[in-house]
Amino acid sequence: MTPTAAESRQALLVGVFCYFIWGLTPALFIAMGRAGASPWEILAHRALWSAPWAGLLVVMAARTSELRAVFANPKRLGLLTLSAAAISSGWGVFVWSVNNGHNIEASVGYFITPLLNMAAGALFFRERIDRVGQVAIALAATGVAMQAVALGHLPIIALYLALTFWVYGLIRRQIAVEAQTGLFVECLLMTVPGLIFVLWLHHAGGDIFGRSVGGTLLMMTAGPATVAPLALFAWTARRLPLSTFGFLQFLSPSIGFLIGLAVGERLSPLGEVSFAFIWAGSAVFMLGAWRASRRLQSAA
């Protein structure tokens, strides 16, 4: 069924809100860091408080039978363990980077992730890249190379984040399980080491959780801040065309880039030029997504 104009506008607003929340996530982690939380404590609480919210999504989506099937299938559970390791690794590096003055470099990672997905699909799965996609990848690769020159070293954080989330997506593609169920299982798997670390840190007196009402509530927000955008994404994904998603997915790293500037990070002139190339690559990618969406609509 084709959505009405009102439904499309509603889905667009929800999609913008979803990516806006994702874009503001660095500000939340910076606030936690300035309150005294270490990156490891933030990561542990993100896993702990995401689990109950992700579990609520499973119940609301009536996926409890699928959840039982996952735990009865060692292969699926093993693959979700690998995906949990990949996503927690990316979360950890991201939390560390935004609390150590690398917001702008982290945003580069999320700008190039969709382009890396495109290139990896061609390399490993023989997916065809049209001329527009080739231009987008070439522009982004040029921007990343210029970032390396501007920084004086490879943008390790950006490349690691992009690679981590590509690996995560690759693993999840191999698992026949819905997004809500998979996320809940991943959070449950991360909860065990997270809880052990939180208890040890509290015993050692190095945490902020439980020491004050403000610090405790701040750490608890990591759960809804992680899961709510995923729920909104799942809702809008079925109601927005591909071309619109091609635009929205670049909204959150743009906000992260602005947060980096707001907290005092600076770009050299060469760094500014490198971002011009990265944004140009993103714009070409969006153009390709728009053209593909139009072709699908015409075929329909």
Residue 212 dihedral angles phi and psi, to the nearest 5°: -155, 155
In a 3-state reduction of DSSP, which class is residue 264? coil
Alpha-carbon dihedral 207, 210, 214, 218, rounded to 10 degrees: 60
Locate 70 and state its tokens: 């996952």
In the chain, the amino acid numbered 159 is L
Residues 57 and 183: beta-carbon distance below 8 Å: yes
Q: What is the pLDDT of residue 275?
A: 84
pTM recorded for the entire structure: 0.83
Query: How far, in Å, are 25, 39, 90, 103 from residue 97 at the CA level?
Result: 12, 9, 11, 6
Question: Do the Cβ atoms of 108 and 158 come closer than 8 Å?
Answer: yes
User: What torsion do the CA atoms of 238, 240, 242, 243 make, to the nearest 10 degrees?
Assistant: 180
Beta strands in the chain (DSSP E): none
pLDDT tens-place values along the chain, 300 residues long: 455 666 667 877 888 888 899 899 999 999 999 998 999 999 999 989 999 999 998 898 888 899 999 999 999 999 999 999 998 999 999 999 999 999 988 988 888 887 777 777 777 767 677 788 788 888 888 888 888 888 888 889 988 998 998 888 888 888 888 878 888 999 999 999 999 998 998 888 878 887 888 888 999 999 999 888 877 876 776 676 655 666 677 788 889 889 999 999 888 888 889 888 888 887 887 777 677 666 766 666
Rounded to the nearest angstrom, the gap between the alpha carbon of residue 282 and the centroid of all alpha carbons in its chain is: 16
Distance of alpha carbon 252 from alpha carbon 15, whole angstroms:
11
Q: Is 9 helix (H, G, I), strand (E, B) or coil?
A: helix
Burial class (CB in 10 A: 0-12, 13-18, 19+), 67: buried
Task: For 245-280, write each residue's pLDDT tens digit.
Answer: 666 777 888 898 899 999 998 888 888 898 888 888
Cα–Cα distance, 300 to 292 (Å, whole number):
12
Rounded Cα–Cα distance for residues 265 and 97 (Å): 12
Of the candidates 176, 212, 204, 193, the residue with the CA atom closest to the CA atom of residue 92: 193
Q: For the segment 220-240, what is each residue's pLDDT rounded down to a tens digit?
A: 999 999 888 877 876 776 676
41, two tokens: 């404590």
